[in-house]
């Protein structure tokens, strides 16, 4: 059900950290949370993801690991690899730490337009198997970056 606010939802589905050694961080989170060591996946190549970073194509990829930290929320770990990305930008500027909070949105194009109208433009976007994502440059207004997630079948 779509809500009438700019995001079309109010439910956070992920909190994500960028890290410099995903295997080490994943092992520590697995121990802390009492969850199995997750599979560490690599994002697909740019020809499959169509990744764009601040308007331009990039060869950036990432290693990803997910922990289901309760029914609503996943903790995501991201280790940037390859070319320039908002992940690498954050890691270089701040070191390992929280990078974004994510929301599943009902209508990606509409939400992107809503946020652009409020001076929160897209910083990076791309596709993954079954859906697409957009990172929103919202740090000045909200203190943290947003990620929008949408499934292809929506």
CB of 70 to a second copy, least distance (A): 3
Given a contact cutoff of 8 angstroms between Cβ atoms, the answer to whether 85 and 68 are in contact is no
Dist. CA 87–CA 124, nearest whole Å: 10
Of 29 and 133, CB closest to a second copy: 29
Rule CB under 8 A: say whether 32 interacts with a second copy: yes
Q: Least CB distance from residue 7 to a second copy, whole Å?
A: 6
Tokens representing 15 are: 């909190």
Binding mask 77-116 for a second copy (x = CB under 8 A): -----------------x-xxx--x---------------
Residue 31 touches a second copy, criterion: CB under 8 A: yes
State yes or no: residue 73 binds a second copy (CB under 8 A). yes
- List all residues 6 or more positions away from 25 whose beta carbon is below 8 Å from its beta carbon: 17, 19, 65, 77, 96
**Sheet arrangement for strand 41-42:** 41-42, 61-68, 74-81, 12-18, 97-104, 145-151, 131-136, 122-128, 52-53, 56-57
Under the binding rule (CB under 8 A), the answer on residue 154 touching a second copy is no
* Among the listed residues 144, 151, 152, 154, the single contact to a second copy using CB under 8 A: 144
| Inter-CA distances, 40 with 50, 65, 128, Å | 21, 5, 15
Q: Is 151 in the site for a second copy (CB under 8 A)?
A: no
Residues in contact with a second copy by the rule CB under 8 A: 3-7, 10-13, 15, 17-19, 25, 28-29, 31-35, 67, 69-73, 75, 94, 96-98, 101, 139, 141-144
């Amino acid at each position: 059900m779509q809500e009438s606010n700019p995001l079309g939802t109010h439910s956070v589905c992920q909190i994500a950290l960028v890290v410099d050694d995903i295997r080490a961080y994943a092992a520590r989170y697995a121990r802390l949370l009492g969850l199995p060591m997750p599979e560490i996946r690599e994002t697909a190549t740019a020809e499959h993801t169509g990744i764009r970073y601040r308007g331009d194509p990039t060869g950036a990829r990432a290693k990803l690991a997910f922990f289901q930290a309760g029914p609503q929320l996943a903790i995501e770990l991201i280790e940037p690899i390859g070319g320039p990305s908002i992940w690498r930008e954050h890691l270089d500027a701040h070191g390992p730490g929280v990078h974004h909070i994510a929301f599943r949105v009902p209508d990606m194009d509409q939400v992107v337009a809503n946020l652009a109208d409020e001076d929160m433009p897209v910083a990076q976007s791309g596709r993954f198997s079954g859906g697409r994502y957009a990172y929103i440059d919202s740090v000045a207004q909200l203190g943290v970056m947003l990620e929008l997630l949408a499934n292809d079948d929506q």
